[in-house]
Amino acid sequence: MSENNSQRTKVAAFLRSSDAIAVLAFLVNLFLVLNLFLPSMRDVNLWDESVYVNTGRSLAHGELTVFSRNPLVGVLYALTYLLFQNSDFWLVQSVSLGRVLLFGILWWGAYLSFRQLREFVPPLVVTGFLFTSIALTRIVVNPSDALFAGVSAFAFWQVLALYRTREVKHVWRASLLVGLSALARNDGLVLFAVFLVIVIILLWKRPEVKKGLLWAVVPFAAVVGGYVLLYGLVTGSFTLGLEGRTFAAFMQGQAHLYRNDPDCTLSAIRCGVLEVQEVYGTPEENNYSVLRAIAGNPQAYWRKVQDTLASLPTLFLKAYGEMPLMLIALLGLRGAVELLRKKKGLLLVVMALWGSYLGVYFITFFRRGYLMMIFYLLFALAGLGLAALARGLANRQERLVWSGLLGVGVLAGIIFGIQALYLVCLLVLAILWIGALAQEQGEGSGKALPVFFLFLVLGVLLTRTFNPPVFTPYGTLPEEEALVLIREEIPEGSPVAAGAPGWVWAADMDYVDLEAKRFNGLADSQALYEALLADGTEAVYVDHYLSNQNEALWRLIEPEIGHYYRQVYSGREGSIRILLVEP
């Protein structure tokens, strides 16, 4: 009986806690973005997302992936594949469940990190940024980015616990999570080096420093080394595969600077890569060493760095949205000032170091997904700033200083036509003075903070559109009708050419990459047809990845429909087609 009472007491205590409210907020958040978790084949990312889902299918069939291909993501999708493998729409369903799981990992990893900052700000206040941000819904369509961000957020939770307590148990827990993050993205290797630096800083001149370093290394080495050993024993190869992938990313990151060959018949990015190789040399000529390639042409690399620096503001705006990003930046600046004012600069250093692994992308390239992987750091700083504003309401001088700065921001936004700037400044100005009025009426700063949070949420919600969830039955869209039809036309596992692999794998066929080197420079339709026959290609799937993004090849295919190719399906006014290759 006493045991039942104890259980009831625990449940009642949980229901009264902020964690229970966080659970409710998470469920509401799931509902508000439910359409993200109900994709059709049209909504699936036919490159990165589909590649990882297919990696999971391969793993479920016993095929391990090399370390550089992010095997932890494959584990996630192996589990989803096992649930849906007998469905005609297994890939779409795997994507759906995968997005839910990734969203949960991101959300709760960030929330647990925020809890470690509760001496500065209630975690539910920071959770408001999760509730309203577009970053989480954008990042989940790239499973590797999302899983790495989520697992690294869990690792940061333990790093913050180490900062607070200096207890070594948090070191090995963080090390284990950093090891898992390295299996989700190779960035985890760089994050591990950053983690070691943080451990040394936090345990410096303490008797636990040697033990801490040991526990920082062993779990990480066990996770990463264990997988590499397993892969080597199964496949006979102990390679990590990092050199080739890093060099490919290095080439890809500069391709947009070199797209000047009018005779290239591949997609723009593939044509750019070929021209980049003329500037730096081929991977083989550089022995797959990025540093050797840079040393061979430092002027070209400096041009790339300048282009990267110029593009970062735009990428940040695309990642977080104009108004939310300016709000986060403004509050984040206030949060950083607050930490310095409270002589908590070490915490600021730890947060900055944790995000410093992004510097590796100056070697390869930045895209908005990479900038979203540090979302929890930005939200934490913004939450600290929001709490600092609430606590500083009684300070008339601070209120006036911030009012002046925000007023300048409003004027600058109006003068230069930057709508997001003056809207954000007006919003924060309103929050500041409404909170001040609440305090003057005797509510106190403890009551003013929820007022701040309320207006923050309302303000950010104004920048978003929440559509009611709509589920489209599987098999009703042209992309999904084509999936069913092609299985009736050709045997499972037949080679099918397409502009992107996702649909082909969803149909349980083998992908023929039309951007492979053997298709580059083909002079006429007959040469392409003969190359497809030589590959044993049974069909060509046409969507915008082929007709729009590889127009040169499509111009060789379309005129020969009825001659070299027999059309067996056409949908969406001809934008979705299945062409059988005539023998």
Q: Which H helix or E strand runs over 35?
A: none
- What is d(CA 382, CA 399) in angstroms, rounded to the nearest whole number? 18
556 or 471, which is more confident: 556
pLDDT of residue 453: 56
**Cα radius of gyration rounded to whole Å, the chain:** 27
For the residues 267-274, what does the mean pLDDT come to? 71
Q: What is the pLDDT of residues 164-174, one digit of tens each?
A: 999 999 999 99
Say if residues 130 and 110 touch (Cβ distance below 8 Å): yes
Tell me which range, 10-14, 280-284, 321-325, 503-507, is most confidently predicted by mean pLDDT.
503-507
364 or 3, which is more confident: 364
Q: What is the pLDDT of residues 53-84, one digit of tens each?
A: 999 999 999 999 999 999 999 999 999 999 99
Q: What is the pLDDT of residues 335-362, one digit of tens each?
A: 999 999 999 999 999 999 999 999 999 9
190 vs 23, 152, 174, CA distance in Å?
Answer: 33, 12, 14
For the residues 397-401, what does the mean pLDDT come to? 81
Q: What is the pLDDT of residues 157-209, one digit of tens each?
A: 999 999 999 999 999 999 999 999 999 999 999 999 999 999 999 999 899 99
- What is d(CA 376, CA 383) in angstroms, rounded to the nearest whole number? 10
Please report, to the nearest 10 degrees, the dihedral formed by the alpha carbons of residues 7, 10, 14, 15 taken in order: 60
434 or 408, which is more confident: 408
Percent of the chain with pLDDT over 70: 89
Nearest to 129 by CA among 432, 431, 384: 384
For the residues 228-247, what does the mean pLDDT come to? 92
Query: pLDDT-derived band of residue 245, with 50, 70 and 90 as boundaries?
Result: confident
Query: pLDDT-derived band of residue 327, with 50, 70 and 90 as boundaries?
Result: confident
pLDDT, mean over the chain: 88
Percent of the chain with pLDDT over 90: 62
CB environment 118-154: b (16+ within 10 A), e (fewer): eebbbbbbbbbbbbbbbbbbbbbbbbbbbbbbbbbbb
How many other β-carbons are positioned within 10 Å of the β-carbon of residue 429? 17
pLDDT of residue 221: 98
For residue 517, pLDDT beyond 90:
no
Go through the domains of the chain in sequence order and give each one's CATH number.
242-296 (no CATH), 316-359+372-461 (no CATH), 478-581 (3.40.190)
Q: What is the pLDDT of residues 103-133, one digit of tens each?
A: 999 999 999 999 999 999 888 777 878 877 8
Q: What is the pLDDT of residues 430-450, one digit of tens each?
A: 777 766 776 665 544 445 455
- The secondary structure of residue 394, as a DSSP letter, is G
For residue 521, pLDDT beyond 60:
yes
Q: What tokens were used for 224?
A: 């990463």
Backbone angles phi, psi at 338, to 5 degrees: -65, -40
Instruction: Please give the single-letter amino acid code of residue 433.
Output: W
Say if residues 168 and 204 touch (Cβ distance below 8 Å): no
pLDDT of residue 231: 97
Q: What is the pLDDT of residues 439-480, one digit of tens each?
A: 665 544 445 455 445 545 555 554 455 567 788 899 999 999
pLDDT of residue 511: 97
- The secondary structure of residue 582, as a DSSP letter, is P
For the residues 315-331, what does the mean pLDDT come to? 88
- What is d(CA 36, CA 515) in angstroms, rounded to the nearest whole number? 30
Percentages (nearest 5) of helix, strand, coil residues in the chain: 70, 5, 25
How are strands ordered across the β-sheet holding 539-542? 510-513, 495-498, 539-542, 576-581, 565-571
pLDDT of residue 433: 77
For the residues 148-154, what does the mean pLDDT come to? 98
CA atoms within 13 A on the CB side of 48: 13
Say if residues 296 and 286 touch (Cβ distance below 8 Å): yes
Nearest to 541 by CA among 582, 493, 492, 507: 507
For residue 410, pLDDT beyond 90:
no
Beta bridge partners of 234: none
Helix, strand or coil for residue 577? strand
Q: What tokens were used for 227?
A: 């997988």
